[in-house]
Structure 1
Amino acid sequence: MPEFYETSCPCCGGAAKRETDTMDTFMESSWYFFRYMSPKFSDGMVSAESAKYWGAVDQYIGGIEHAILHLLYARFFTKLMRDEGLVNVDEPFERLLTQGMVVCETYYRENDKGGKDWINPADVELTFDDKGRPVSAVLKADGLPVVISGTEKCPNPKTTASIRKN
């Protein structure tokens, strides 16, 4: 839209161009499903015919981490597009299936800098009490104690990846 981005400088009056790449990536990814309805449509965001035919997404499957920003932005964008007459639905998704969050038993050792070095659960040997609860843990490689941190969201991608392998 040259009528928007081609402008004049407010200081010197010379030719200027407005910045057009200012949207956060969450915003940009919040209406892609409408674009998929008419990927070759070049006269706007989505063709009215395609939007009317396809409507809202039947089933959205995603992790709980999507619920905080992505789905909120998707709802906002859908309502904005509805208000602008681009789509004819009130909600972007008919049904939502949340898969949950990747959790794991976590173990660590404190390092010299006061941080935590996370340890793959497969590398830990546990001792249990008479009720089956873990009471101590040691690293198999050296037999030295590690901290039992409990069940929590996997602390980092490396731990998550190693746990998924096991």
Structure 2
Amino acid sequence: MSGFVYAIAADNGLVKIGYTAKLKARLSHLRANNARHLTPLGAIKATPAQEVELHRLLADDCEKGEWFRRGSQTEYFLSRIPAWPARKSRIASGRREHLPQSALLEEIEAFLSETGMGPSYFGKQAVRNSEIVSRLRAGGRVWPETEAQLRGFMLAARRASKESERAA
């Protein structure tokens, strides 16, 4: 099972490093069930086994469970983890900054050109959202789960196309 290893800082200086398949939902859950102010720091595509290995590597900085002090090992990990989507946003207040995702959009545009698929149909088939391509074109940003779904759909479609070419 693939999801994300994430890092979220609490206002007491500790960092929660955990695994989830759904970043946005996990952050919402943690904020709703934690008295501390939480700030998302980063997330990286990973498996539960990789999270367990990371916890083992960061054991010297472990405070309790998935909460870590910002020791040298934890800081090293944090310096290398990709930024959380909408990191500068204030999700709790409803204000979110949208940053362009040009690499993803370029990949989608190339896929649409290769396949002749329309952007609305692509969005509907890939993530059940016919507006996703137009939002990206307008400079919008998607969560890593959505990006992974989009890339996965394109990969699967390309594989299916190659298989059908071989069969013919």
TM-score between both structures, scaled by the size of structure 1: 0.22
Give the helix-richer structure, 1 or 2: 2
Give the strand-richer structure, 1 or 2: 1
TM-score between both structures, scaled by the size of structure 2: 0.22
